[in-house]
Amino acid sequence: MIINIMKIIFLGDIVGKTGREAVKKVLPKLKKKFAPDLVVANCENISHGSGASNKTLDEMKDAGINYFTAGNHIFKGVKNESIWERDDLVRPLNYPSDPRVPGVGFLKMKILGEEILLVSLQGLVFMPEYIESPYKIFKEFASHHKDKIIIVDFHAEATSEKVTFGLAFDGKASAILGTHTHIQTADERILPSGTAYITDVGMCGSQNSSIGIDANEVIKHFETGLKFKTEPGDFPAIVNGVLIEIDFSSQKAKKIKRIFEVVR
């Protein structure tokens, strides 16, 4: 039997232990329900709300996640440089091509006999890093990988930038999925030229929190102007993501469905 459709579950930013525990409770049920061929998650806040470690990534691998994407926060709190030697982790491709910048910006995966490309890109609006234009970098990347299934984690702050990027590269990627703001948006759709799009897939973390961080810490920050601890909030938690279906023959998306689960 020839399989023409690939199913992907993409989970939003996993925030700290609460997010990890929520994923461990929910992901087995999601895999049983949807039977995905690939599970990807954003991991930049997986270790206590900031950064990542081999230990926390391996914990999520054991839970059923195959590959990880990340944005600017991945560079915070990394104590073991061997994390950058992993073959299941990508950081934004549009960081400078400089040997001092660790990690890789895209991965080639073999799923159901087909080559799939997983790419992370970071936006510019309201972001503090001095990096290259994601438009320029992805235009070059897509031109070198035509007729390939490309899954993009577009890690950006401004919703307008995310929407514009999606429309600019509609048909050049099979999916463009926004991350970073941790609030799941309700605009999931297949764009006119066949790209699955959502402005933000959301997060996996404490529900009654400030985007995964203990709300009391953030309230104190807004009241005093002092820095806050990145202390993850507690349960109940949410697990946000999307299910995408992609046609191998056309590299176009056929379906995108939001995932929103509450874990108590």
* Residue positions annotated with a catalytic role: 73
CB-CB contact of 94 with 137 (8 Å): yes
Bridge partners of residue 262, in order along the sequence: 238
CB-CB contact of 258 with 184 (8 Å): yes
Distance CA 209, CA 60 (A): 22
Distance CA 259, CA 36 (A): 13
